Amino acid sequence: LEGTLYRVTPDGKSSILYSSKENTVLTIAVDNKGTTYFGTGPRGNLMVINTEGLVSTLYDKATSYFTSLKLATDGTLYATTANSVYHIRPNSLPDGSPLITTLDSPADLDFLTSLPLPNGKLAVGTGNIGELYLADTSQVREGSFESVVHDTRLESRWGRVQWSAQLPKGTGIRVETRSGNIAEPDSTWSEWVQVSQDEADGGKIVSPSARFLQYRVRLEAGSGVQVPRLKEISLSYITRSQPPKLTFQSPFGGERWSGSQSLRWSVSEAEGAFLLYDVYYSADNGSTWRPLPSGKTEIVSAANPTPQGDVSIEELKAKLDRTVMPQTMRDLLLERALQKQIGGVSTTANPQPTKDTTRLLDTTILTDGYYLFKVVASDSLNDPADSKPGSVVSESVLICNALPQISGVKSTVLPTKAVRIEGSAFQKLLTITAVQYRVDDGDWFPARAVDTIFDGYNEPFTLTTLPLTTGVHTIEILAFNAANGKGSTKVIVNVP
């Protein structure tokens, strides 16, 4: 529906002056020059139609619909809405715009009507509880505006307040603030205090640090119609540092790792912060933590017990694999190399913090066992005086680079020239998951667990090949663990 304003002449003829987008035209006033003022609802706009029939908006900031509109003898207007009283002086400002003043009034009143009195005062009537109020508008030379409560969502330190205003000679402006930590101001809030003004259009906010802030602007008029006009105001603040919230994406926990792996984490509630991360590990369920090393250790050998350069344990294993030596000697050299480490990590490892949220991990630098990982995030580069680190600890992860061992292998050539092999696959920390075999580089076939399922640390197995041709054959056996590690052995058989 559209609210429509009609003009009706004494002879009963009518015409449409204006058709409003608002639902209703609620109140109207016409001055002695023929200028028409009217208020609309439900949102509340105050409109004016000049003597030439041009329609313009006089005021559109009302918080509810207009209930009355009255002309005073001095040519000014008084308007009431459901919760406010306005004094309107048309064409009073230098640019021809109206000067509009909101009169202070008791809270929770329903204004229904008004009447300007000859002595310059204003009578206002209310509804629900019928009451009559009297306002003296002739001596109003000061007004104030109180902002909504602003929520910074976190405890904040306040900066400066800046404003843009027109201040004719004799007028003034003062800005005050108060702060608190609950949304509705109460006795826990600080008192109103004027900003420490050090410039004509700004100053330092001196209210205590808090989550919520409210400002109040006091405007002082000059002589005549000289009044200040506030165009814009802005306040700056910085939230106090909050510990970054970290989440591990890898590991999730329960993984069985070997070889190269990746530690990955994400961070939230640290938008715009430049964070550095330190990564730690624990081999004793979090009792002690050490920096996660870069993955290098010292190499030692029986012939030369002094370090020969920085290589990884994996590289040391590869070098030993290329050297012909007894298994016991190989194990001894590896053990001595690991003894050069603390908990499997070189004492000289001192990695620098990283800004990346991913860290590559060579698990071979750690002795086999269960580990926790911890990431500590610091925002000290953003605000060293107010840095609050955040951290996250992973779930337990089993690291096992040892390979399954195959032992007790016995072979029997059957009358059918098939070969039956029995043995055991053994693994510390990890379960055996499968055993396979092949003959002379042929296809792989599964062996059978003696207890029908491979799911233990020591799994006896048996296999029977297809009938083989007469002669020497090589049977290769592979045992798999739960981390996809593979141990192998070969059996040479002579089929008659």
**pLDDT digit string, tens, across residues 243-284:** 788 999 999 888 999 888 999 999 886 544 678 899 999 999
Give yes or no for a cis peptide into 90 (omega within 30° of 0): no
Q: For 312-456, where are the E strands, in sequence order?
A: 341-342, 345-346, 358-362, 369-378, 390-393, 397-399, 405-413, 419-426, 432-439, 445-446, 448-449
Q: Evaluate if residue 100 carries a pLDDT over 70.
A: yes
What pLDDT sits at residue 329? Answer: 57
Min mean pLDDT across 63-77, 128-142, 160-174, 279-293 is at 128-142
Q: Give phi and psi for 362, each to the nearest 5.
A: -90, 100
Residue 215 makes CB contacts below 8 A (sequence gap 6+) with 146, 147, 161, 175, 176, 177, 233, 235
Average pLDDT for residues 354-361, to the nearest whole number? 88
How confident is residue 470, by pLDDT bands cut at 50, 70 and 90? very high
Spell out a b/e string for 308-331, using b for 16 or more CB atoms within 10 Å of the CB, else e.
eeebbbbbbeeebeeeeeeeeeee
Whole-angstrom distance, CA of residue 456 vs CA of residue 450: 12
Question: Pick the residue with more confidence: 462 or 74?
Answer: 462
Whole-angstrom distance, CA of residue 340 vs CA of residue 168: 82
3-state class (DSSP) for residue 339? helix
Whole-angstrom distance, CA of residue 51 vs CA of residue 30: 11
What pLDDT sits at residue 407? Answer: 94
Residue 210 makes CB contacts below 8 A (sequence gap 6+) with 155, 156, 179, 180, 181, 190
Structure tokens at 299: 């190499």
Which residues are bridge partners to 429 per DSSP?
Answer: none
Min mean pLDDT across 79-88, 294-303, 349-358, 486-495 is at 294-303
Residue 69 makes CB contacts below 8 A (sequence gap 6+) with 27, 28, 29, 37, 38, 39, 46, 77, 78, 79, 80
Residue 116 makes CB contacts below 8 A (sequence gap 6+) with 70, 71, 72, 73, 78, 122
Element (H, E) at 337: helix 327-339
Structure tokens at 463: 């296999």
* Residues 295 and 312: beta-carbon distance below 8 Å: yes
How confident is residue 297, by pLDDT bands cut at 50, 70 and 90? very low
3-state helix, strand, coil in the chain (%, to 5): 5, 50, 45
Give yes or no for a cis peptide into 384 (omega within 30° of 0): no
Structure tokens at 203: 């100053």
Structure tokens at 388: 């609050």
Structure tokens at 236: 């700056």
What pLDDT sits at residue 457? Answer: 94
Q: What is the mean pLDDT of the chain?
A: 84
Min mean pLDDT across 7-21, 345-359, 407-421, 469-483 is at 345-359
Average pLDDT for residues 409-420, to the nearest whole number? 95
% the chain with pLDDT above 90: 44
Average pLDDT for residues 443-469, to the nearest whole number? 95
Average pLDDT for residues 65-75, to the nearest whole number? 90
Average pLDDT for residues 118-133, to the nearest whole number? 87
How confident is residue 421, by pLDDT bands cut at 50, 70 and 90? very high
* Residues 404 and 426: beta-carbon distance below 8 Å: yes
10 Å CB burial of residue 290 (0-12, 13-18, 19+) is middle
Q: Evaluate if residue 184 carries a pLDDT over 80.
A: yes
What pLDDT sits at residue 296? Answer: 43
Whole-angstrom distance, CA of residue 48 vs CA of residue 321: 97
Q: Evaluate if residue 48 carries a pLDDT over 80.
A: yes
Q: Evaluate if residue 105 carries a pLDDT over 80.
A: no
Dihedral, CA of residue 188, residue 190, residue 192 and residue 194, to nearest 10:
-170
Q: Evaluate if residue 334 carries a pLDDT over 90.
A: no
Q: Evaluate if residue 317 carries a pLDDT over 50.
A: yes
Direct distance between the N- and C-terminal alpha carbons of the chain, in angstroms, rounded to an integer:
107
Whole-angstrom distance, CA of residue 10 vs CA of residue 389: 81
